[in-house]
Amino acid sequence: MFKTVKELVEQASTSSLFEVIIESEMAQSGNSREMLIEKMSMQLDVMLRSIERGRQGVKSKTGLTGMDAQKLNHYIHNHESICGPTVMTAVQNAIGTNEVNAAMGLICATPTAGSAGVVPGVLSALIERYDLSRQQQIEFLFIAGGFGLVIANNASISGAMGGCQAEVGSASAMAAAATVSVLGGTPQMAADACAMTIKNMLGLICDPVAGLVEVPCVKRNALGASQALVSADMALAGIQSLIPVDEVIATMHKIGTELPSKFRETGEGGLADTPTAREHQQRIFGDNE
């Protein structure tokens, strides 16, 4: 059992992050290892299907978002991107997943629906780049979930509670840590990647246009996926976070509680309060809002 990332890292020093996390889940849920792996495998399948659907092109009923994953897919295959195929594949698939969500399709909340694109986007890019085995893919998700559990218990994964730092920020941190681990980094390196990611997203507000999980949520998932990969590379290079990850998580919680309500998923501040956003809100909801 672990309550902090420090405890998770210490326990993993004689085992592995995956083993510590799945053993903890077995103890808490009472489910067998086989059942937990089967459930995670099903969630992985949902993620991969949502990515494929997004790549083919979907559009939300509001018209606010859609078809950008398809545009990126064409761009990746017909141009030499600045960031390279791994980062752009993660970005493409993060966008695709969230476009499917906006179109009322089936996704796997990781850790929320609004941040559901980051983890599968990053994982899918790693699968393509490194030919990860099915077991490695499942271990990636368990490790991401383990870090997410600590964040949820010590801060928040809710935009309504802590702003978008708690949603896309947490998802990106989870993906960064899991990336480091699955590519052979130490548990401490995974913790540093988690810390560096959250530090970059501290204070990120939740300001959905018209109160819908579309703008700017979809594109924030894209950039969150790229942040996860950059943080992972930094950690694998040996770069450390001066502030321990548990203190970073505590800071995120403190900032979240201090954010004004208009910056916490109410649709009252930030980008949601721009003239263009209000025009779209009126178009979608009329005088009902």
Q: Give residue-wise pLDDT tens across range 242-260.
A: 999 999 999 999 999 999 9
The partner residues of 139 in beta bridges, in order of sequence, read none
Q: What is the rounded distance in angstroms from the CA atom of residue 49 to the CA atom of residue 205?
A: 30
Residue 288, pLDDT score: 64
Tell me: pLDDT of 130 over 80.
yes
pLDDT, residue 181, reads 98
pLDDT above 90: residue 160:
yes
Helices (H), ranges, the chain: 5-12, 17-29, 33-56, 68-78, 85-102, 118-130, 134-154, 159-162, 168-182, 187-201, 217-236, 245-258, 275-285
For the chain, the average pLDDT equals 97
Spatial distance between the Cα atoms of 103 and 119, rounded to a whole number of angstroms: 19
Lookup: tokens for 139: 């271990």
CATH code for the domain of 22:
1.10.4100
User: Percent of the chain scored above 70 by pLDDT?
Assistant: 99
pTM more than 0.85: yes
The predicted-structure confidence for 17-59, as pLDDT tens digits, reads as follows 999 999 999 999 999 999 999 999 999 999 999 999 999 999 9
Q: Which domain holds residue 25?
A: 5-288
**CB 269: neighbour CB atoms within 10 A?**
16
The tokens describing 106, both together, are 């089936």
- Asked whether the bond before 216 is cis by omega within 30 degrees of 0, the reply is yes
Peptide bond preceding 111 in cis form (omega within 30 of 0): yes
Kindly state the percentage of the chain with pLDDT values over 90: 99
Round to whole Å and give the CA distance between 96 and 51.
6
Residue 191: which pLDDT band, with cuts at 50, 70 and 90? very high
Q: Examine the pLDDT at 234 and tell me if it is beyond 90.
A: yes
- Residue 289 has what pLDDT? 53
pLDDT in the model for residue 261: 97
- Whether residue 287 has pLDDT greater than 80: no
Mean pLDDT of 94-112: 98
> What domain count does the chain have?
1
